[in-house]
Structure 1
């Protein structure tokens, strides 16, 4: 009986970062590598962070991205998925069928924004199953900025309303293309209770 509590716990929290369209090489884009390094270098935490270049990075087509996330990046019901821009839409489509522990959506949208490139990505060619997405995650956190020139804040607010997400609207952050995003780091640490 007592042996169960002897020795360090070795299970780690798997986190998969799904980048935005055009982000290649991914480690040189935005805050992705910064977040991975912060999570994996902290000696008090046990995180495994998956960050890889995506196939078809400039079109971000659902037909290429979803199989790659499932089969190469890999996740399960205990994983946390973090998406940025087009990565949010990929995660939302995944959660129409797959369960995860939690998701963080940074600059999400739900329409093609009138863009032919976005329309070609395949995410917007059918209605969203908001109930299924919501029920397939224990928690959903979302970040958006009113100063985002790529995705209007109304898009993020609509997604937040449909998903009943914990919604943070951050002033003057644009499309979150800076080298750091401490708010996401803080969310992960809070949700994982300092894991």
Structure 2
């Protein structure tokens, strides 16, 4: 899970819930937490965590953008993007949407129209480009809650556990 700030929001809860149903789940502390630079986060994910074809990557906010970048380079089972940001259509050439789509067996996305940090249009744009299954709410803000059962439900469904 990225960003790996385990004591914030729903991350610790999700990690515990995933372990309960038999998954290995990690949410390590990330370097450069405040700035979330691709030049630091992407090598950290690829070199220190390792990513395999059977992995499900979960990213929130800047972490969602990081796992999209990772998926440009490696194949994964699935991506779960929460409040995924994307800033401007002129940046499309900098993203390899086709590669992301090809490298993930499935992509689920969560966003709330009342998110004060990430514009809903940017998340909708990502959904269109990668053809994710898109879940939009109007009352979840930036998903700064302490529990997030929707993510568990999606993982169970995608892994044939529900």
TM-score normalised according to structure 1 size: 0.78
Aligned to 1:33: 12
Offset, 1:125: 9.9
SS in 2 for 1:29: coil
Task: Name structure 1 gaps, 5 residues minimum.
Answer: 1-16, 113-123
The number of residue pairs the alignment matches comes to 160
Offset, 1:171: 2.0
Aligned to 1:50: 26
Q: Select the structure that is richer in helix.
A: 2
SS in 2 for 1:155: helix
Aligned to 1:186: 153
Moved over 3 A (4+): none
Aligned to 1:150: 117
Pairwise CA RMSD of aligned residues?
1.7
Q: Separation in 1 of the partners of 2:72 and 2:34?
A: 24
SS in 2 for 1:27: coil
TM-score normalised according to structure 2 size: 0.93
Task: Name structure 2 gaps, 5 residues minimum.
Answer: none
Q: Quick one: structure 1 residues 58 and 126, their matched pair in 2 at CA, closer, same or farther if it must change by over 3 Å?
A: farther
Larger-gyration structure (1/2): 1
